[in-house]
Amino acid sequence: MTADKRVTLDEIVSSLSDGMTIGIGGWGSRRKPMSIVRAIARSTLKDLTVVSYGGPDVGLLCATGKVKRVVFGFVTLDSIPIEPHFRAARQAGAVEVTEYDEGMFYLGLLAAAWRVPVLATRAGLGSDIMRVNPQLTTVQSPYSDEQLVAVPALQLDAAFVHMNRADQRGNAAFLGPDLYFDDVFLMAAKQRFVSTERLVETGDLLQEARVQQLRVNRSMVDGVVHSPHGAHFTSCEPDYGRDEDFQKLYAGSVGDAWAPFLARYIDVDESAYQAAVAQ
């Protein structure tokens, strides 16, 4: 196993191909790996299936024409309830959707992480989830007559998460209030990449993080990219909060305002963007 797993954003994008299923960690507009998402948005990739507890990662990739299908439990900007670019793409019929209950979504990721084809749940029974997802089926419990929803594994070709701290070997820590299932996204994927606010020595991880925050280890990671402010404009507590002013600009850029916003947010040198955010 390679000790030094440092990669660049360009190297991550070059490992991807059209039509892949990619998982993006974080939650709504919280600790999203936006530097990687921006790099994908700048690329020529297309026809992606995006699996996410969605936020601006989903909206940005939909708005830049990268997405064929979105698999999601929700797509929100948190302080702005509905992600406007995703809403516009969905209303225009530009993307296909698979809409799950949040718990079903988690079970799909967990099934892929555990390398089993399905996991059973009561979630979804008696709801419109079964109507809007006609491909879902029920199975009978082998121990009773109970019918359960069979949630298929959400197998990912690649997954991306953003962590507060990481070392060059792929061990990483979150310092905020929640892991947001990022570890499960990584375990469900064939290729696994972590962007991080700060690269530190392995021993220094324990200086900042509690043991329970060290949930991502090197066996789950293929590449690490040092990306200060790499979650901007989403939050990355405790390093920084959500940039609400920038998020409002993003949310208001649907339609005619999109092209100038795109030039400002995506089509810029990544280091220049990070330096501007730091000011």
Contacts of 135 (CB under 8 A, 6+ apart): none
Looking at the chain, how many residues does it have? 279
**Is the same domain home to 128 and 212?**
no
Chain centroid to CA 141: 33
201 in a domain, yes or no? yes
Q: Measure CA of the first residue to CA of the last residue in the chain; give whole Å.
A: 38
**Is the same domain home to 161 and 73?**
yes
Contacts of 139 (CB under 8 A, 6+ apart): 118, 120, 147, 148, 150
Tokens encoding 278: 């730091």
* CA angle, residues 170, 175, 177, in degrees to nearest 5: 125
278 in a domain, yes or no? no
pTM reported for the whole predicted model: 0.94
Per-residue pLDDT of the chain (279 residues; tens, 9 = 90+): 458 999 999 999 999 999 999 999 999 999 999 999 999 999 999 999 999 999 999 999 999 999 999 999 999 999 999 999 999 999 999 999 999 999 999 999 999 999 999 999 999 999 999 999 999 999 999 999 999 999 999 999 999 999 999 999 999 999 999 999 999 999 999 999 999 999 999 999 988 888 888 999 999 999 999 999 999 999 999 999 999 999 999 999 998 888 788 877 876 677 777 877 887
**Is the same domain home to 87 and 202?**
yes
1 in a domain, yes or no? no
